[in-house]
Structure 1
Amino acid sequence: MTDPANLREVLDRISETATGRPRVTLGAIIDTVGRRSYGPVLMIIGILLFSPLSGIPGVPTLSGLLILFISVQMLVLSGGFWLPELLMNRSLPTEKLLRGIRFIEPAAEYVDARLHPRLVLVVRRPGSYLLGGVCVLIACAMPLMEIIPFSATAAGFAIAVFGLAMVSLDGLLAVLGLIYTVTIAGLIAVNML
């Protein structure tokens, strides 16, 4: 199976996997989008963090651990990634997952129409090391984001942008995501002082 080429294809694959089941596991979703694809998995985690779920206590920290686990593997492994069975067996109600996918489908079509491969060196090696490093830093800051309002949502947006940039091979989007991340980190640092 080839890696998904855009956001719509990621959503379609997840929908196909989930349909007909009462619940769908994280493992089934990851197998659907491909274990060699760091981008779709980071994008999915980012979208979940960008949603109101990031306001639930513990979700930012758990998401941060997942981002850290994947990002470190992105930095040190050349093949696909591995997740513990405990995480892979976690499941979501299919109805809620499909409702969320239907909600973001119009935005996915809009985004896909504007993204295309450019500045590919930013999202492929060696540039992907920078993205992986930034994702590690964001992941390490996630427990702190439990107490700073809306910071986990902002971090989720950055992770989703990096994942989407990797999926679409759009290095310009990755650069914009890096600028956004530095700006938000600066604003949070200034407000904490």
Structure 2
Amino acid sequence: MAHHWLYPLTPTTADLVAAFPDIFTDSRVRLVDVLAALGERGLASALLVLAAPQLLPTPLGLSNIVAVPAVLVTVQMAFGRGTLWLPRWLLNRVFPRERVLATCRKLIPILRAIEILVQPRLAAVWSSAGVRFVGVFAFAISLISVFPLPFSGWLPAISLILIAAGLLERDGLVVIAGVLVGMAAVGVFVGVLAGLVEVGKAVAA
């Protein structure tokens, strides 16, 4: 939650992520511990954590595998599930500490920029019905991330991060911004897919 006058002592999401270097000192970090460090913030915090690694340069194919857990979260959002469920093998999966911290370094500036103007508003967006609608859209965006197409990975990740941050900060305007970025991601995906189809036709001719 942002440092709004109603919540003066509550750390922001960026504050919590910035504390990760002090929290995680072992060479390996479990996903369940990362989620615990963000506190009881529901599906949105899980979506933030699982979308953020896509900001790092990752070989095509591997980056799409990394995107799969986000699909599990967004489908639960779409169905209105109140608590997060992830398979135990995923919760206990370990990641190199340096990769976790590298992801944090990419994520923190985005969160800080959001927090400059963030405030609780447009409550309909983060109402129960609103979150379901947003969840359906986020599910579609997360599916795009899974397809191994070039030039189509970062925009979906930024879209999901904005949506997650907006829900965490109760700012419907940020959520809408994430939806708009997601629409741009869909456009890029369709464009890349259409280009590959045309190349395939040309090769086959």
Give the TM interval when normalised to the shorter protein: 0.7 to 0.9
Residue 81 to residue 17, structure 1, CA distance change in 2 (3 Å) = same
Q: Aligned pair 1:58/2:69, yes or no?
A: no
Residue 164 (structure 1) aligns with:
165
Residue 85 to residue 13, structure 1, CA distance change in 2 (3 Å) = farther
CA drift at 1:99: 4.5
Match of 2:128, SS state, is coil
Q: CA RMSD in A?
A: 2.4
Q: Which of 41, 44, 48 in structure 1 is aligned with 2:46?
A: 41
Residue 101 to residue 164, structure 1, CA distance change in 2 (3 Å) = same
Conservation of the 8 A alpha-carbon contact between 2:13 and 2:38: no
Residues 28-61 of structure 1, C-alpha deviations (whole Å, 9 max, x = no match): 11122245511122122222112213x3423213
Amino acid at match of 2:26: R
Amino acid at match of 1:182: M
Larger Rg: 2
Q: Which residues in structure 2 correspond to 1:6-85 (within 5 Å)?
A: 6-12=12-18, 14-18=20-24, 20-34=25-39, 36-53=41-58, 55-63=59-67, 65-85=68-88
Identity rate of aligned residues, in percent?
Answer: 20
Amino acid at match of 1:57: G
Tell me whether 71-80 or 129-138 shows the greater mean CA deviation.
Answer: 71-80
Runs of 4+ in 1 over 4 A off after TM superposition: none
Match of 1:72, SS state, is helix
Amino acid at match of 1:60: N
Q: Tell me, in whole angstroms, the C-alpha distance in 2 between the residues paired with 1:5 and 1:167.
A: 12
Match of 1:151, SS state, is coil
Conservation of the 8 A alpha-carbon contact between 1:117 and 1:171: yes
Conservation of the 8 A alpha-carbon contact between 2:54 and 2:66: no
CA drift at 1:162: 0.7
CA drift at 1:91: 1.2
CA drift at 1:22: 2.3
Q: Tell me, in whole angstroms, the C-alpha distance in 1 between the residues paired with 2:145 and 2:108.
A: 27
Q: Which of 116, 119, 123 in structure 2 is aligned with 1:120?
A: 123
Amino acid at match of 1:93: P
Amino acid at match of 1:69: L
Residue 166 to residue 10, structure 1, CA distance change in 2 (3 Å) = farther
Which segments of 5 or more consecutive residues in structure 1 lack a partner in the other structure?
Answer: none
Residue 186 (structure 1) aligns with:
187
Amino acid at match of 1:157: I
CA drift at 1:181: 1.5
Residue 79 to residue 114, structure 1, CA distance change in 2 (3 Å) = same
TM-score, normalised to structure 2, is 0.77
Q: Which residues in structure 2 correspond to 1:122-137 (within 5 Å)?
A: 122-137=125-140
Residue 105 to residue 189, structure 1, CA distance change in 2 (3 Å) = closer
Which segments of 5 or more consecutive residues in structure 2 lack a partner in the other structure?
Answer: 1-9, 195-205
Residue 7 (structure 2) aligns with:
none
Residue 174 (structure 1) aligns with:
175
TM-score, normalised to structure 1, is 0.82
Q: Tell me, in whole angstroms, the C-alpha distance in 2 between the residues paired with 1:99 and 1:9.
A: 16
CA drift at 1:107: 4.5
Quick one: higher RCO (CA 8 Å, sep 6+), 1 or 2? Answer: 1
